[in-house]
A and B are shown apart, each in its own frame.
Chain A
C-alpha cells in the first residue's frame, strides 16, 4: 500500500511505521486539496475494509508560522 500511495501525484512521503495503527501521508497540497485526497484514498482503500483516511485534526495540529513553506497535512488510517 505504501508503494501505491507514493505513486500518487503530490504525495511527498508515506510513513507506515511511525505511529501504531496509523499510516501518515504527507502531501504538498498543490495537486489536490486535502478533501479531494481523502476522498481518493477512501475510494482506493475501500476494498481493504477497516481502514479509513481522514485529515489529522487534533490539539497538536500545527503549522510552522515562522516559515513560508506549507506545513504537512497528515492523514490517518
Chain B
C-alpha cells in the first residue's frame, strides 16, 4: 500500500477533510486472505508526503520493533507474516502520535477467512463497517487525547449510510438473507456498543473467529482496536438501522441503515468508499461545456 496524504469527502454535503490514508481512501482497502496464507506486505511513503507513516496488522504475529516502525517520506518497508488465525482484524498506522494517525484515517480491515468454510453458516451478503471518531481539526492532537470528538463515522463518513440525511446512502439486503457484518472499531478512543434496531444479532463472533460464537445478542461491545463479526437475518422488508448504542456517537454520525427489500441489488463489501457526492445543478451554477 501507499501512504497518501489527501482530502476525502466525509459528509453528505461534500465537506472534505485533510486525511492521512492508505491508498487514498478512508478506510483503507479491505485485505482478504485465507487462514494459513502468507502475506507479503510493502508500505511506500512517497517523497511528496510530509509525515512518517507505518503499518500494524492485527492479524499478524510478528516483532513490532522491526516491522511496525515508522518510515519517513521517500522510504519503504516490507515484511511477511502468516495469517495463522481466522477472523476480522484491524490494521492501522502506528507512527507517532498514533492517536492522530488513526484519527486522520490511517486504518482498515483485514479478513482472514477460515480454512474450513463450513465453520459457520454461509452468508448471503457481506459488508465491512469500520467505526472511527471524527475530529474537526485534524491538527488538534490535544482534542484527540481529551476525547473531544465532533462526530463518529462508519467507513469514513458521517451518516454515510443514513438515507434520511442529505447525501446519505444505505446498506441493502433482501428479506431472509444472512447478512454478515465485518465490524472493526478503529477508535482511536471510544468503545462501540453495536446494535441492530428492530433486530437481534443472530450470531456474534468475537474477533471474527468461528470458535468464539455467541447467539441471540442484542448489543455487543467492541473496544477500540478490536473487531467482531455480526450476522443478522431480517425476515421482513423494512429498515433496520445499525448503530452504536453510545448515543452521543450514533446521533453524531454512527448510524447505518440496513434496508431489506426484495429489490435489493448486489453490493460491494464497503459501499461508497470513496464517497462521491454529485453537486446538483442550480440556476446560478454554470453547466460545464462539453
A residues whose Cβ falls under 8 Å from a Cβ of B: 12-13, 15, 17-21, 24, 26, 56, 59-62, 64-67, 69, 71-72, 74
Contact = CB atoms under 8 A, between A and B. Distances in A.
A26 B134 CA distance: 25
A12 B239 contact: no
B158 A18 contact: no
B31 interface: no
A72 B260 CA distance: 22
A17 B13 contact: no
B280 A61 contact: no
Nearest to A18: B163
The listed residue with most B CB atoms (<10 A of its CB), out of A12, A18, A24, A59, is A18
Nearest to B247: A59
Interface in B246-290: 250-253, 255, 257, 259-261, 263, 280
Size range of the chain B interface in the assembly: 20 to 34
Contacts of B158: 64, 66
Given A20-B259, A20-B261, A65-B252, A60 B166 contact: no
A6 to B, nearest CB: 11
Contact of A15 (B150, B163, B257): B163
Contact of B255 (A18, A20, A60): A60
Contacts of A15: 163
Interface in B219-260: 237-239, 241, 243, 250-253, 255, 257, 259-260
Interface of B: 11-13, 15, 134, 136, 150-151, 158-159, 162-166, 170, 197, 237-239, 241, 243, 250-253, 255, 257, 259-261, 263, 280
B24 to A, nearest CB: 23
The B interface, classified by DSSP as helix, strand, loop or mixed, is loop
B58 to A, nearest CB: 29
A20 B170 CA distance: 12
Given A19-B261, A66-B134, A72-B165, 9 more contacts: A12-B166, A12-B280, A19-B259, A60-B250, A64-B11, A65-B151, A66-B158, A66-B252, A67-B15
The A interface, classified by DSSP as helix, strand, loop or mixed, is loop
The listed residue with most A CB atoms (<10 A of its CB), out of B164, B170, B253, is B164
A15 B250 CA distance: 23
Contacts of B251: 62
A19 B151 CA distance: 25
Contacts of B238: 19-20
Contact of A60 (B11, B164, B252, B261): B164
B197 A26 contact: no
A10 to B, nearest CB: 12
A71 to B, nearest CB: 6
Contact of B165 (A19, A20, A65, A71): A71
A69 B15 CA distance: 10
B255 A66 contact: no
26 contacts: A13-B280, A15-B163, A18-B259, A19-B163, A19-B170, A19-B238, A21-B237, A24-B164, A26-B166, A60-B164, A60-B250, A60-B255, A61-B164, A62-B162, A62-B250, A62-B251, A64-B151, A65-B150, A66-B134, A66-B151, A66-B158, A67-B11, A67-B15, A69-B166, A72-B166, A74-B164
